[in-house]
Structure 1
Amino acid sequence: MEMLINGKTAVAADDGWIEVKNPATGELVDRVPRGGKDDVAAAVEAADACFGAWSEKTMRDRGLVLARAAELIRRDHKALAELLTREQGKPIREATDEVRGCANILEYYASIAGQPAGEVVSLGKAGDCLVTRVPLGVCGAIIPWNMPVIIMGWKVGPALLAGNTLVLKPASTTPLTNLKIAGLLQEAGLPPGALNVVTGAGETAGEALVTHPRVKKISFTGNCATGHRVRTLAGEQLKALTLELGGSDPMIVMPDADIPKAVEGAFRGRFYNAGQICTAVKRLYLHEKIAGEFMRLLTAKVEGTNIGNGLAPVTEMGPLNSAGQRDRIAGVMQDVVDRQEGCVLTGGGPVTGKAYENGFFYRPTLVADVPADAALLRKEIFGPVLPVITVPDLSTAIREANRSQYGLGASVWSRDLSTVKEVFGQVHAGIIWVNRHLTVPPEVPFGGTNESGMGRENGFHAIDSYTQTKTLFLGW
């Protein structure tokens, strides 16, 4: 599969290739060009040339293109979901949800397609000011491998609706579905150059995109270390930035919670997509009154998880996305054992057997008796490992929840409104769920604080982030 630049497929200037393999089998799915600086320059030039015509269209007309693209995504959702599973590894059910979710995002932005809100400021005898919002120009988006289709929607939808043109760099392990969806956007009427996709490594194509002088904004989703690098490089040119980085979301369960519902929430919140989600439940705080019952139910559920190839309908958890991901999780768990930083209740190792020998499978893992300063609680563990901490009261849970450099999401499971208000007021996070976790509809602003990043995706807030104010001063 080839890159998409100025409405045409393109091979990288150096004619190198990146192989995309199925994480469940190790089989080659496809290959994409190893794009670099010259390819990014060509994509930016195409986006720059298209910007004038695209930005001059009404927002309603731009919204109609997004609506037609959503129809095409829904038309092809089965093939897109299968491709996503083959390149990413997630179960076909989760891949289907993600593809449909991307269509839902584009439909949402199409539904709010009106002229950008403005204001009139009256200065009396000095005159009047008309303040409006205008697009930034050429924007860059860097997509991660864990939720590539949803996050593509988060970035493409508001950027294009606001009148910008875009250069997108997908992750090297999951570029295929992004390329297919870019093709559907073009089929829907997006003009050549409005959306360009350059495949390649982060240190080459990614850096070239971040540092290109004609790129006015970078929206990056990925790990903290790379996020800091992006911020430094973009800051040198005063680019606008949205950074959605790591997370270590706490889940707090109080005695009055619906325990079976909370158990299901913890299971799905941690092991969905094999735990490879920024807003996954990464620290579970259980009130001591219900900890025993909760863990009996959760352990049984985890031990009954059907692990396998994501294309099998019965699979509940697929492989990790790469050998590197699997090895990192294995290293984390070896450290837990070596440092005696917890008791492994279940899991704690790769899945063995002939059916799994070529894939990157790791067992869903529960770890109890984790010390407050353990690495499992301080670092983001991007995989199917859940540390469990018993607490005597809500104040302790809140204090421990805030012992993190991150601040992306959190959830509280309780029927008591005063408990909810206390958690909402005191826990450091960009989004706090009550009696649920993970759900992020496109209407809801999403992003974090502290090391979890800056800026917001979704909703009208995203439109604002892809525009800037422009003032007309009328001096009568």
Structure 2
Amino acid sequence: MLKIENYINGELVAPIDQQYLDNINPATGQVYSLIPDSNAGDVEKAVKAAKDAFPDWSTCGIDTRAKLLNKIADLIDQNLEELALAESIDNGKPLSLAKSVDIPRASSNFRFYASGIQHFASEAHFMEGTAINYTKRSAVGVAGCISPWNLPLYLFSWKIAPALAAGNTVVAKPTEVTPMTAYLLSKICIEAGLPNGVLNIVHGLGHKAGQAIVEHKDVPLISFTGGTETGKKLAATAAPMFKKLSLELGGKNPNIIFADCDFDDMLKTTIRSSFANQGQICLCGSRIFIERPIYEKFKKAFVEKVEKMHVGDPLDANTKMGAVVSEPHMNKVLGYIKLAQEEGGTILCGGNQVSLQGDCAGGFFIAPTVIEGLDYQCRTNQEEIFGPVVTLTPFDSEEEVLTMANATAYGLAATIWTQDLKRAHRVAHQVKSGIVWVNCWLLRDLRTPFGGMKQSGVGREGGFEALRFFTEPQNVCIKL
């Protein structure tokens, strides 16, 4: 059985204590590889390697760094098939999704920041007749990057690429739930000739390896994507140490549909924004609000399409819905469906575990689930489920839907469907979300800031926001 290895100081190495965790294929329920159960000792080796590599990497020049990032992107493209297959097996998502979205986006992340660092400008401020001020931005040091399981290589690379481009070295911990493509990236970095110690990947549990990274005195900045509760614990450790923090946390996103929308376009996109990656994307619109004049029409058309969605083997080309990521997560999602019924909700379709035949008989599959009849303040509509579950709620006015949309502790993303331009701006400006899509969903420009309000996070990722986070500004004032 394959044993995944840590990537420390340019080499693939076993964990110090030779302890491993099971890596389970969610489509079959079977262990198919072993993950290092790393501890503080492994992290210490990784931090030392990163710290030793920092002086040369931070001063080698942006052209050198850009060439290496582009080389990594080239190798990701060349290994698309292998990486996509690994991502599908590890995560349970349809292979077609991994091929078309996850792996290409990982390559794009490296290319974007290879180019971005060459166009990253600082500022100058001229004081007439007195002085000139200019801002120098420098790499901070060793960056700690901790990524989630839902978009494994996609989000792992989104942290690593800007950190490296800015001249930092990195100690990264991919989630222990879906570690395979991070391990394959280690091999790619070796092939690309990335200098030893520049990137170090330590596998293991959050409370052991992750915590060791966060609390290490030589890791001055932490970029984390994951659950809000974990983010709170992380911040409690990092804040008293005055580390720079970027936290991309949970979401409970509203999808607001007005009666004047382009109905066909809205319906097609809402299927995707509800159930892409089995609803395991922090940007999915899990609370759907429909203006009352089209509520019944929408409900009928939406449920008909959802009922036709094929839940099956992620490696089957016809599969639109694969497995959720793990058995504990499946049980959590099914628990919320039961809670919704207890809270008075009516299941319009789905609501059950799906049993398949053959190799997938032991897999973790859930039918896409649509629920109506719930109060907007109930737990089902307030807490992040992170699975293939959406609720439908009618509304009568902008004021009413804004009250409902803004009623959660989260504020990551929102979607608005209307052909009234004034309304689109008006409602978008009043929704408490870091990202608002109008008449679209997940239309991403990598130059834009990404992140949420309230308990959806601290700071912004993406574009030049990431390069600002991974650098330290210094003002220099020169008297004329």
- Asked if Structure 1 and Structure 2 have the same fold, meaning a TM-score greater than 0.5 normalized by the shorter chain, the answer is yes
TM-score normalized by the length of structure 1: 0.97
Aligned match of 1:424: 428
| Superposed displacement of residue 115, structure 1 | 6.4
- In structure 2, what is the Cα distance between the partners aligned to 1:211 and 1:399? 40
Aligned match of 1:76: 79
Give the aligned CA root-mean-square deviation in angstroms.
1.4
Aligned match of 1:337: 341
| Superposed displacement of residue 339, structure 1 | 3.0
Q: Does 1:413 align with 2:417?
A: yes
1:104-183 map, 5 Å: 104-114=108-118, 116-123=120-127, 127-183=131-187
- Aligned with residue 240 of structure 1, among 241, 244, 252: 244
TM-score normalized by the length of structure 2: 0.96
- In structure 1, what is the Cα distance between the partners aligned to 2:381 and 2:307? 23
Q: Does 1:43 align with 2:84?
A: no
1:309-328, CA deviations, whole angstroms, 9 ceiling, x for partnerless residues? 11111110001100011000
1:305 counterpart SS class: coil
C-alpha contact 2:340 2:374 (8 A) present in aligned 1? no
2:352 counterpart SS class: coil
- In structure 1, what is the Cα distance between the partners aligned to 2:469 and 2:98? 28
Aligned match of 1:371: 375
- 5+ residue gaps, structure 2, are none
C-alpha contact 1:281 1:437 (8 A) present in aligned 2? no
C-alpha contact 2:106 2:153 (8 A) present in aligned 1? yes
**Which amino acid is the alignment partner of residue 395 of structure 1?**
E
| Superposed displacement of residue 118, structure 1 | 2.6
- Aligned with residue 230 of structure 1, among 229, 234, 248: 234
**Which amino acid is the alignment partner of residue 131 of structure 1?**
T
Q: Does 1:472 align with 2:476?
A: yes
C-alpha contact 2:77 2:104 (8 A) present in aligned 1? yes
- In structure 2, what is the Cα distance between the partners aligned to 1:145 and 1:38? 24
- In structure 1, what is the Cα distance between the partners aligned to 2:122 and 2:306? 52
Q: Does 1:3 align with 2:2?
A: no
Relative to structure 1, is the Cα distance of residues 253 and 124 closer, same or farther in structure 2, using a 3 angstrom cutoff? Answer: closer
| Superposed displacement of residue 422, structure 1 | 1.2
1:52-102, CA deviations, whole angstroms, 9 ceiling, x for partnerless residues? 100002112211111111111010001100000011000001111200111
**Which amino acid is the alignment partner of residue 470 of structure 1?**
Q
1:412 counterpart SS class: strand
- In structure 1, what is the Cα distance between the partners aligned to 2:407 and 2:134? 46
Q: Does 1:207 align with 2:198?
A: no
| Superposed displacement of residue 338, structure 1 | 2.4
- In structure 1, what is the Cα distance between the partners aligned to 2:111 and 2:174? 22
| Superposed displacement of residue 124, structure 1 | 5.9
Aligned match of 1:446: 450
1:18 counterpart SS class: strand
C-alpha contact 1:249 1:279 (8 A) present in aligned 2? yes
- Aligned with residue 350 of structure 1, among 350, 353, 359: 353
C-alpha contact 2:339 2:380 (8 A) present in aligned 1? no
| Aligned positions, number | 475
- In structure 1, what is the Cα distance between the partners aligned to 2:171 and 2:112? 22
| Superposed displacement of residue 126, structure 1 | 5.6
- 5+ residue gaps, structure 1, are none
Q: Does 1:52 align with 2:55?
A: yes
| Superposed displacement of residue 289, structure 1 | 1.0
| Superposed displacement of residue 439, structure 1 | 3.1
- Aligned with residue 15 of structure 1, among 18, 21, 24: 18
Aligned match of 1:101: 105
C-alpha contact 2:57 2:168 (8 A) present in aligned 1? yes
C-alpha contact 1:164 1:466 (8 A) present in aligned 2? yes
- In structure 2, what is the Cα distance between the partners aligned to 1:394 and 1:29? 51
Relative to structure 1, is the Cα distance of residues 119 and 373 closer, same or farther in structure 2, using a 3 angstrom cutoff? Answer: closer
**Which amino acid is the alignment partner of residue 271 of structure 1?**
F
- Aligned with residue 65 of structure 1, among 63, 68, 84: 68
Q: Percent identity?
A: 34
- In structure 2, what is the Cα distance between the partners aligned to 1:201 and 1:401? 35
